[in-house]
């Protein structure tokens, strides 16, 4: 596809359940980013990959959050033992090679933890 | 700590008039600034950007102004159109890789 895609678009989870969110970046994009967007707020950085290497995970809020990009393309954000405060939109973005190139966002996955 | 601030949660303007959206930042290391536009149920869409070596960048109806000394940038839309109604996010980065976003301003352009 031409843009960044994310699945599922919506996810309802019971508290304590594990969830996995998928991101398909733009083909050939080296960099991939995950953001968390709470209601009424801007996106907050979670983690960043360059190819398969996770270069920055400083934004992950707890050790329940784990991200991977094993082949340098598709990425998965996993949240273990979900809590209600994890409810948010999770956005994925990808970027080409140069640092100052624009990040292109997917539509996001809206996670609701009950 | 919120390094990028958009102090106006909403703005309403008449079609054909100018829309001015403002953004302030605190980190003097930021050197690249972007504006994103977001419709409901969609991800943010890149609109326009500016490097810190410039003070103005223009793209059609959209112009971004950067005042480094005041750590302030603004987005001007002229003339505003109803299709411009969306949430606008200001973002900044310091040549690193994570961007910091403001909380957004909801623009409503009335016909």
* B32-73: pLDDT as tens digits: 999 999 998 899 999 999 999 999 999 999 999 999 999 999
* Average pLDDT of the residues of chain A: 93
Query: Which of the 8 DSSP states describes residue A39?
Result: T
Query: What strands lie across the sheet with A19-24, from one edge to the other?
Result: A5-7, A19-24, A75-79, A65-68
Beta strands A75-79 and A44-50 are unpaired
Beta strands B100-101 and B86-93 are antiparallel
- Whether A41 sits inside 8 A of B104 (CB atoms) is yes
DSSP H or E segment with residue B25: strand B19-25
- Taking the Cβ of residue A4 and every Cβ of chain B, the question of whether any pair is shorter than 8 Å is answered with yes
Beta strands A109-113 and A10-13 are parallel
CA proximity to B39, closest of B87, B109, B93:
B87
- Whether B34 sits inside 8 A of A102 (CB atoms) is yes
Report the residue of A24, A43, A55, A105 to disrupt the B interface, i.e. the one with the largest count of B CBs within 10 Å: A43
Report the residue of B96, B97, B104 to disrupt the A interface, i.e. the one with the largest count of A CBs within 10 Å: B97
Q: Which pLDDT score, from 0 to 100, does residue B94 have?
A: 83
> Which position has the token pair 């991101």?
A23
Query: Which of the 8 DSSP states describes residue A72?
Result: S
Q: Structure tokens of A65?
A: 């959050």
């Amino acid at each position: 596809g031409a843009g960044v895609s994310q699945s599922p678009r919506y996810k309802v989870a019971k508290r304590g359940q594990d969830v996995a969110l998928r991101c398909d970046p733009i083909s050939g994009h080296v960099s991939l980013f995950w953001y968390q967007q709470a209601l009424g707020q801007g996106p907050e950085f979670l983690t960043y990959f360059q190819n398969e290497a996770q270069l920055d995970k400083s934004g992950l809020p707890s050790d329940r959050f784990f991200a991977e990009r094993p082949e340098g393309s598709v990425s998965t954000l996993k949240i273990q033992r979900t809590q209600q405060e994890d409810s948010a939109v999770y956005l994925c973005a990808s970027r080409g090679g140069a640092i100052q190139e624009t990040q292109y966002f997917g539509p996001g996955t809206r996670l609701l933890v009950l | 700590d919120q390094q990028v601030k958009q102090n106006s949660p909403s703005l309403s303007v008449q079609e054909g008039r100018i829309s001015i959206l403002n953004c302030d930042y605190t980190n003097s290391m930021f050197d690249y600034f972007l504006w994103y536009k977001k419709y409901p149920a969609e991800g943010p869409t890149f609109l326009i950007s500016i490097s810190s070596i410039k003070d103005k960048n223009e793209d059609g109806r959209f112009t971004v102004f950067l005042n480094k000394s005041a750590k302030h940038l603004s987005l001007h839309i002229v003339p505003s159109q109803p299709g411009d109604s969306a949430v606008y996010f200001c973002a900044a980065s310091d040549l690193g890789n994570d961007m910091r976003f403001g909380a957004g301003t909801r623009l409503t352009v009335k016909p």
